[in-house]
Amino acid sequence: MVKDGHFHGGHNSGVSTLIQRTELFSSLKNAWYPVSLSKELKRGQQRKVQLLDTHWLLFRTESGRPGITSRYCCHLGTDLSNGRVVGDNIECPMHGWQFDTHGNCTHIPCGAPIPNGAQQFSLQLTERFGIIFVWYGDKPEFDFPEMSDLSTNLKTSPPITVSLQAPYYVAALNSFDTQHYEKIHARRFVSPPDISLVNPYCLRIDYTAEIIRRRWVDKIMTKLCGDTTSVAIESWSGGILLLKNMDTHYGSLIGVHPSSETHCELYIVALKDREVRQTLTNSLAEYLALRLAAVFLKTYLAPDLGIIANMQPHKGILLDGVDDALQTFFDYWKALPQKSPFRLRENRKVA
Ligand code: FES
Ligand SMILES: [Fe+2]
């Protein structure tokens, strides 16, 4: 139907679906995203990083400080990934201009004065739990998230990574898809889950569910928690998911790296409040338990991974009641800021 010069498709038509998909998921939300394991970026090394369709160069200075700048040189656009780290700078291979971790040009070998505007666009980053995270956007709009139910005195497992053949936003969306919990994860809610907007960036789901024993992980969970389990999951602008199991007091962080429009990489870390008194024996037991918890979470998520592959999420036909959490998720997602960082266009892929 054409009205007011615009096409208005039926509620569930293919066209309206396409419009909703484009509007909802067209570009990257401003958020913290993992970009590399710390151990994969040693001093003096660099690596290419893609965030959706934008291209970056991540490097670690010889003194150990990480930095991330636009990948193409502000002089003539040479690919800096062919350059090298020199001291505290990344050096362009073409004419040798050097840039520090903030992207500032610090040296031009031909002796000309450094011109105004000789700067690579850079992103802010932080290193946590053995993972490098960047803030996609001009300036962080929220601090690196911490889950209110866990103390800041955390013990963590080494991170593990899982590749997912699906767009990055599937990870957050999946957490609020309450219909799939029973079919895919063997969790039957004992009462409707509680959905709350903690702040404009953080949507949270709290639920208590009966564990329907199907797989070995479910059997272990019933040994640990009994027949029901209470869980909270927070989405922080889709780049970080925080989970807390209220029965075991273990939590986890899942960082979602949007490696392309069709693929993402999950960085999983198990977390636990640190015991006040630490002995060598309980430290070792805790370390092993945390490693196991990370593997356990990966196994719990495994049934999702195959099904999610090639998914093209959109806001389709939602059921009243059972899909209310999804409706809230779509409203939250639509309202999230997605301002492109300054000069970002320079980093976009040339078709
Ligand atoms: S193109 Fe990079 S220094 Fe000239
Ligand atoms: Fe799931």
Give the total number of structural domains in the chain.
2
Query: Residue 50: its pLDDT value, please?
Result: 94
In a domain, 338, yes or no: no
Whether 92 lines ligand 1, by a CB cut-off of 6 Å, is yes
Instruction: State the DSSP H helix or E strand holding residue 7, giving kind and residue range, or none if neither.
Output: strand 6-7
Ligand nearest to the CA of 71: 1
Same-domain pairing of 304 and 196 = yes
| pLDDT tens sequence across 87-101 | 999 999 999 999 999
How would residue 51 be classed by pLDDT, with cut points 50, 70 and 90? very high
Per-residue pLDDT, averaged over 203-210, amounts to 96
Contact residues for 283 (Cβ-Cβ < 8 A; gap 6+) = none
Ligand nearest to the CA of 185: 2
Same-domain pairing of 46 and 93 = yes
Question: Any bridge partners for residue 204, and if so which?
Answer: 196, 234
In a domain, 335, yes or no: no
Same-domain pairing of 166 and 289 = yes
Range of the domain at 187: 154-313
C-alpha of residue 54 to centroid of ligand 1, in Å: 20
Comparing 18-32, 70-84, 186-200, 264-278, the range with the smallest average pLDDT is 18-32
In a domain, 345, yes or no: no
In the chain, pLDDT over 70 holds for what percent of residues? 86
Mutate to test the pocket of ligand 1, among 73, 107, 114 (most ligand atoms within 8 A of CB): 73
C-alpha of residue 180 to centroid of ligand 2, in Å: 7
* Closest listed residue to residue 172, CA positions, set 321, 16, 33: 33
C-alpha of residue 302 to centroid of ligand 2, in Å: 9
Contact residues for 304 (Cβ-Cβ < 8 A; gap 6+) = 174, 180, 184, 185
Same-domain pairing of 122 and 256 = no
Query: Residue 7: its pLDDT value, please?
Result: 28
Whether 115 lines ligand 1, by a CB cut-off of 6 Å, is no
Closest Cα to atom 1 of ligand 1: 76
Distance CA 345, CA 55 (A): 10
Closest Cα to atom 4 of ligand 1: 95
* CATH at residue 176: 3.90.380.10
Whether 97 lines ligand 1, by a CB cut-off of 6 Å, is yes
Whether 95 lines ligand 1, by a CB cut-off of 6 Å, is yes
Whether 94 lines ligand 1, by a CB cut-off of 6 Å, is yes
| pLDDT tens sequence across 130-177 | 999 999 988 899 999 987 776 667 888 999 999 999 999 999 999 999
Contact residues for 73 (Cβ-Cβ < 8 A; gap 6+) = 79, 80, 92, 94, 97, 120
Same-domain pairing of 216 and 308 = yes
In the chain, pLDDT over 90 holds for what percent of residues? 60
Per-residue pLDDT, averaged over 102-108, amounts to 96
Same-domain pairing of 252 and 215 = yes
C-alpha of residue 331 to centroid of ligand 2, in Å: 20
Comparing 11-20, 176-185, 244-253, the range with the smallest average pLDDT is 11-20
Whether 75 lines ligand 1, by a CB cut-off of 6 Å, is yes
In a domain, 295, yes or no: yes
Q: Which of 84-93, 212-221, 303-312 has the highest mean pLDDT?
A: 84-93
Query: Residue 160: its pLDDT value, please?
Result: 94
Is 61 or 273 the better-scoring residue by pLDDT? 61
* CATH at residue 127: 2.102.10.10
Same-domain pairing of 160 and 273 = yes
How would residue 15 be classed by pLDDT, with cut points 50, 70 and 90? very low
Whether 107 lines ligand 1, by a CB cut-off of 6 Å, is no
Same-domain pairing of 167 and 113 = no
Looking at the whole model, is its pTM more than 0.85? yes
User: Read out DSSP for 218-259?
Assistant: HHHHHHHH-SEEEEEEEEETTTEEEEEETTT-EEEEEEEE--
Query: Residue 202: its pLDDT value, please?
Result: 97
In a domain, 197, yes or no: yes
Whether 284 lines ligand 1, by a CB cut-off of 6 Å, is no
How would residue 27 be classed by pLDDT, with cut points 50, 70 and 90? confident
CB 347 within 8 A of CB 341: no
For the cut 90, the answer to whether the pLDDT of residue 195 exceeds it is yes
CB 69 within 8 A of CB 121: yes
Same-domain pairing of 305 and 160 = yes
C-alpha of residue 339 to centroid of ligand 1, in Å: 28
Query: Residue 300: its pLDDT value, please?
Result: 81
Query: Residue 59: its pLDDT value, please?
Result: 98
| pLDDT tens sequence across 263-310 | 999 999 999 876 656 666 677 888 888 888 888 788 888 888 888 888
For the cut 70, the answer to whether the pLDDT of residue 314 exceeds it is yes
Whether 76 lines ligand 1, by a CB cut-off of 6 Å, is yes
How would residue 250 be classed by pLDDT, with cut points 50, 70 and 90? confident
Same-domain pairing of 120 and 179 = no
Ligand nearest to the CA of 69: 1
> What atom in ligand 1 is closest to the CA of residue 96?
3
Same-domain pairing of 292 and 183 = yes
Same-domain pairing of 117 and 161 = no
For the cut 60, the answer to whether the pLDDT of residue 243 exceeds it is yes
In a domain, 191, yes or no: yes
> What atom in ligand 1 is closest to the CA of residue 80?
2
In a domain, 232, yes or no: yes
What's the mean per-residue pLDDT of the chain? 86
Whether 80 lines ligand 1, by a CB cut-off of 6 Å, is no
Query: Residue 222: its pLDDT value, please?
Result: 84
How would residue 16 be classed by pLDDT, with cut points 50, 70 and 90? very low
CB 53 within 8 A of CB 60: no
In a domain, 113, yes or no: yes
Question: Any bridge partners for residue 207, and if so which?
Answer: 231
